Amino acid sequence: MSRAFVKEDDAGQPPIIPPRAALPPGTPNYVTPRGLELLRNEMSELEAERTRTEANREDEADRTRQLTILNGRISALNARLANAKVVDPQIQPQDEVRFGAKVTLKTLSGGKPGTLRTFTIVGVDEASVADGLIAFVAPIARAVTGLHVGQTASLKLGRNEEQVEVIEISYGNFKSQSGRAA
């Protein structure tokens, strides 16, 4: 085919498929029951979008590009779903910080003493700092995992180091910091 009949966009770079949240090699893909539901909902939405894109015959080059991206995202999500290990927060030791725990920390020294920080430890795909949902592989989650109320940990926050105390641990239906069910 002559280059005269190929749009400039067709000869461009291959589409970039956005990666999923990082999960360190060899680390199990722990998810809460809610996290698994979110992954399944995401899959349904991607499949519906792929169906709509396949039906659109207006711009074949754009359609092919969109399908490539969607198929890549679906493939990555399928791998995540296949490796998901559901951990029910209700069966965790209720007096210890574990996966699924909502934790409240109080700053003892460094930073602003007395500051309270609350977050819930979740899987990497449902983590959202803005919503107070921290991935179990995050340094702050690792620092407090295994602790009980009254125990302390040292947190490295950039160049600063803070001593914090676990004030409260809870499991169950929780709400994110933004008020949405988490």
Q: What digits encode the pLDDT tens for the residues 78-134?
A: 999 999 999 999 899 999 999 999 999 999 998 889 999 999 999 999 999 999 999
Q: What is the pLDDT of residue 174?
A: 47
Residue numbers of the domain that contains 131 = 89-170
Both 126 and 158 in one domain: the answer is yes
| Count of Cβ atoms closer than 10 Å to residue 140 Cβ | 19
Both 62 and 100 in one domain: the answer is no
Residue 8 falls inside a structural domain: no
Residue 9 falls inside a structural domain: no
Which of 67, 86, 105 lies at the terminal end of a domain, its last residue? 86
Both 115 and 53 in one domain: the answer is no
Both 81 and 142 in one domain: the answer is no
Strands (E), 49-129: 84-86, 102-109, 116-122
Which of 42, 64, 86 lies at the terminal end of a domain, its last residue? 86
Q: How confident is the model at residue 176 (pLDDT cuts 50, 70, 90)?
A: very low
Q: Write the CB contacts of 148 (distance below 8 Å, at least 6 apart in sequence).
A: 95, 96, 97, 166, 169
Q: What is the pLDDT of residue 39?
A: 96
HSE-CB of 148 using CA atoms within 13 angstroms: 3
Q: What is the pLDDT of residue 179?
A: 42
How many domains is the chain partitioned into structurally?
Answer: 2
Q: What is the pLDDT of residue 12?
A: 61
Residue 165 falls inside a structural domain: yes
Both 73 and 102 in one domain: the answer is no
Residue 2 falls inside a structural domain: no
> For 17-69, how does the pLDDT look when each residue is reduced to its tens digit (9 = 90+)?
888 888 999 999 999 999 999 999 999 999 999 999 999 888 888 889 999 99
